[in-house]
Amino acid sequence: MKFKDYYEVVGVPRDATQDDIKRAYRKLARKYHPDVSRDPEADVRFKELGEAYAVLKDPEKRAAYDQVGSQWKAGQDFQPPPGWDAGFEFSGRDFGSGADPTHSDFFEALFGRQARGGQGRGMHARGQDHHAKVLIDLEDAYRGAQRSISLRMPVSDEHGRIAIQERKLDVRIPKGIRAGQHLRLAGQGEPGLGKGPPGDLFLEIEFKPHAQFRIVGPDVYMDLPLAPWEAALGCSLTVPTPEGTVQLTVPAGSAAGRQLRLKGKGIPGKIPGDLYAVLTIALPPAVSENEKDAYRAMAQAFDFNARALMKG
C-alpha cells in the first residue's frame, strides 16, 4: 500500500492551523465537487480530498496521522507500525462511519473499523450503508448487463494485523436503468457489529460519455447531419440507434435544429424514453469547377437573402 500525504492533497503545510485546513479544503471541495465540476478527474480528486479532510479536520486523527506520517513521503510503500495507534482514542462522531469503500487501503489500514481495536465489542449495531458509483454504457441500459465490482474491506488476522480483503460482486444492471438512479444491494454494506445486521450498498449509475448519443433522463439525442438537398427535398435514411438501425423519413423543407422523434426508442422502461434525431446541415465544400458551377446555379435560381433578419 502506498503512503498518502494528506497535507499535499489539501495543499497546506504540515504546521497549518485547523482553520487553514478548513479553508483550503472548502476551496478545493467547491472546485472538485462532482455536481459542480466538469473536470473528468473531479470525482477522483474529490474523493481523495474527502479522505484527507476526514483525517486532518479531526485533531485526534490528525495527531495520530502526524505520528506515523512524519517519516514517509507520498507514494512510498507503507505498512502501519504495530500498535501505532496506542494511546489514541478515536471517539469522534464521524469515526462511526467506519469502512467507506471510497476510502483508500491506506486510510482503512490506519483508521478503518478494525484498526479501532475492540471498540464496540459486546455491542450489536447495524452496519453502515455504503455508496459507490458504477459507470455503464448506454447500450447496457437498453439490454441490461452484468458488472463486476470490487469492494475493499479491512479484516484483522489472529495476530490483530490488518489486511485488506477484496470482495468481488457480480451485479446485474437491470434493463431500463437511468443515470443518477441507485441500485440497492441489500446486506452488502458494512458488516454489522456483534449480532447486528449488515448495512446496504447503494450503487449510483452513471453513463460513460458516448461519441454519438447524448442522454437526458430517459430520452436519447443524436445529431443527424444532412446535405442541403436532403434537408430541402426530404429523404429516407437508415440511422443507427443504441439498439440497431432504423429507417427514418426526413420531411422536405427540414431546417437545421429540427428534432425528429422516434417514439419509445429511448431508454426502455414502464414509460420508455424517446430517441430524438437533431438535424444539422452539412455544407458541401466547393472545390472543383463543377461544384462551383452548382453553387453559382443555386445563386441564380434562388431569390434568397441569408441576412434578411439582420437590421441596419
Partner 1 sequence: MSKTEIQSIHGLIVEEEIPLTLEELCRACCAPQENVVAWVVEGVLEPLGETPQDWRFTGASLHRARLALWLTRDLEINLPGVALALDLFDEIAALQAHQQRLGPR
User: Which positions lie near partner 1, rule CB under 8 A?
Assistant: 25-26, 29-30, 33, 35-36, 53, 97, 105, 126, 128-129, 131, 146, 148, 152, 163-174, 177-178, 180-186, 188, 199-200, 202-204, 214-217, 221, 223, 257, 259, 269-270, 276, 278, 280
Q: Are 74 and 3 in contact (CB under 8 A)?
A: yes
Residue 75 or 187: which CB sits closer to partner 1? 187
Minimum CB–partner distance for residue 190 and partner 1 (Å)? 11
306/77 Cα distance (integer angstroms): 66
Minimum CB–partner distance for residue 235 and partner 1 (Å)? 21
Residue 116 or 178: which CB sits closer to partner 1? 178
Residue 164 or 235: which CB sits closer to partner 1? 164
Residue 100 or 230: which CB sits closer to partner 1? 100
Residue 71 or 228: which CB sits closer to partner 1? 228
Between helices 42-56 and 59-69, what is the axis angle to 10°? 100
Minimum CB–partner distance for residue 166 and partner 1 (Å)? 5
Minimum CB–partner distance for residue 146 and partner 1 (Å)? 8
Minimum CB–partner distance for residue 168 and partner 1 (Å)? 5
Minimum CB–partner distance for residue 91 and partner 1 (Å)? 17
Residue 34 or 67: which CB sits closer to partner 1? 34
Continuous segment of H or E residues that includes residue 278:
strand 275-281
Residue 108 or 230: which CB sits closer to partner 1? 108
HSE (CB half, 13 Å, CA atoms) of 99? 28
Q: Are 142 and 268 in contact (CB under 8 A)?
A: yes
215/179 Cα distance (integer angstroms): 8
DSSP string spanning 202-253?
EEEEEEPP-SSEEEETTEEEEEEEE-HHHHHH-EEEEEEETTEEEEEEEPTT
Sheet containing strand 275-281, strands side by side: 213-216, 219-226, 275-281, 259-262
Q: Which three cell numbers stand for residue 185?
A: 444491494
Q: Which three cell numbers stand for residue 223?
A: 445529431
Continuous segment of H or E residues that includes residue 170:
strand 162-173
Minimum CB–partner distance for residue 249 and partner 1 (Å)? 21
